[in-house]
Amino acid sequence: MEQTHYKKWIKIGLNVAYYRKEKSLTQLELAELCEVSRNHIQKIESGCSASVDVFMTIAEKLEIELWKLFEFR
C-alpha cells in the first residue's frame, strides 16, 4: 500500500474512533450495532480499509453524515 494512502486510512480510522467515543460506545458495542466483529472495528480504527457498506453502516449507527468519516482535519 502506498504510504500516502496509508496515512489517509489512519485519519479515517481516527475519525471512526472519535465519533464512536463521542457517542460513548466501546468498539464491541459499535461492532454489535454494525453486525461486524470487534476485531473489524479495531482494524478500521487502526488504519485498515473497509467496504463502503461498512462505512455507511458505521455512519448510520453513529448518527453522522458519511462524509464526516472521510473528513481530513
Number of compact structural domains in the chain:
1
Q: What pTM was computed for the model?
A: 0.92
Split at pLDDT 50, 70, 90, the class of 5 is: confident
What SS3 class is residue 44?
A: helix
Q: 14-52: string of b/e by CB count within 10 Å (b at 16+)?
A: bbbbebbeeeebebeebbebbebeeebbeebbebeebee
Residue 73 lies in a domain: no
pLDDT at 73 over 80: no
Q: Is residue 38 situated within a structural domain? A: yes
* CATH number assigned to the domain comprising residue 44: 1.10.260.40
Measured distance CA(49)–CA(32) in Å, rounded:
19
Residue 39 belongs to a domain: yes
Domain hosting 18: range is 3-68
Give pLDDT tens digits for 8-45. 999 999 999 999 999 999 999 999 999 999 999 999 99
